[in-house]
């Protein structure tokens, strides 16, 4: 699988719900790989456990080169050795 973006990123996991104050936890220098996961979706692979609020529904990722994505989390798996998140993306957001 070829990756569109690979490297270190600042990753914020956010729980944002109507009528509640947002809860956000940020992980600095998190190794990530972002790849195309089909129409309108991207998969972010994580190489470490990602701290974040339970029921998080939003992800903000800022790469060291300045690229940024903030998108809704569709599905994911977060385990001690890493995991993955599936997010919505726009048509041209995955161009290298």
Please write the tens of the pLDDT for every residue from 14-61: 999 999 999 999 999 999 998 888 888 889 999 888 888 888 999 998
Q: Is residue 47 part of a domain?
A: yes
**CATH, residue 21:** 2.40.10
- 13: pLDDT strictly greater than 70: yes
Which range of residues forms the domain containing residue 65?
5-88
Q: Return the pLDDT at 9.
A: 92
Q: Return the pLDDT at 91.
A: 56
- Could you give the count of Cα atoms lying within 13 Å of 24 in the half-sphere of its Cβ? 12
- Split into its structural domains, the chain has a count of 1
Q: Write out pLDDT tens, residues 77-88.
A: 988 888 999 998
Q: Is residue 75 part of a domain?
A: yes
Q: Is residue 9 part of a domain?
A: yes
Q: What is the DSSP letter of 81?
A: T
Q: Is residue 95 part of a domain?
A: no
Q: Write out pLDDT tens, residues 67-79.
A: 888 899 999 998 8
Q: Is residue 96 part of a domain?
A: no
């Amino acid at each position: 699988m070829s990756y569109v973006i690979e490297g270190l990123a600042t990753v914020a996991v956010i729980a944002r719900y109507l009528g509640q104050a947002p809860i956000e936890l940020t992980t600095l220098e998190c190794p990530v790989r972002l790849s195309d996961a089909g129409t309108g979706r991207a998969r972010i692979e994580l190489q470490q456990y990602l701290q974040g609020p339970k029921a998080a529904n939003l992800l903000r990722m800022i790469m060291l080169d300045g690229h940024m994505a903030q998108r809704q989390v569709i599905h994911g798996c977060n385990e001690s050795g890493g995991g993955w998140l599936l997010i919505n993306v726009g048509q041209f957001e995955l161009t290298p």
